[in-house]
Amino acid sequence: MRIYKREHRLELWLEGAGGRFALFRAYDICRYSGQLGPKLAEGDRQAPEGFYRVAKAQLNPRSRHHLAFNIGFPNAFDKAHGRTGSFLMVHGGCTSVGCYAMTDAQIDEIYAVVAAALDAGQGEVDVSIFPFRMTAAALRASARSEWSGFWANLKQGYDLFVQQGVPPPVAVCGGSYVFGSAARAPGCTPISGWV
């Protein structure tokens, strides 16, 4: 799953026969709260950015927002930077105080795909959340933002997916996201879902 705040888009990607992922469907996000930039603290009404993983324990079929799954905030990166927050989800209901809200019809389909993948034996589903499509031009246009360094780090993972066609391994090392073989280095903390 790839989410783009500025574009208000959520994309579902599925693995094809050759192992590369292809876009299955894109959805307009009904609502998210806050601005571009990461979530910093409980109650700031900011929707997160970064790399997350969803496991079965994060599914909530009885959500007050129709259906929901917790994205796993705070992850190891968020914790390394002292960021706090809870109950950050993708859900139905089209209202948000820090979540990514979809229409009920959209979350029916998104939730079904995520649950089917997990029921079929996939351990976790990757959720990558970006401030915008991470093109070089978009990053240059945002160079004066206080988050430009953070976004340049996110772009590394964004680019690997584009180049390789598969979600890269992601971990946190020295306060930064690391990807691919670097994510398996000793002392790095992998991004993982709830067990």
Q: Catalytic amino acids? A: 91, 99
Task: Tell whether the torsion through CA atoms of 183, 110, 14 and 26 is positive or negative.
Answer: negative
Q: How many Å apart are CA 88 and CA 26, to the nearest integer?
A: 21
End-to-end CA distance of the chain, in Å? Answer: 20
**Which two three-digit tokens encode residue 149?**
């360094």
- Closest by CA to 168, choosing from 176, 177, 157, is 157
- Strand intervals (E) in 16-136: 21-28, 31-32, 50-54, 59-60, 68-70, 89-91, 100-101, 125-130
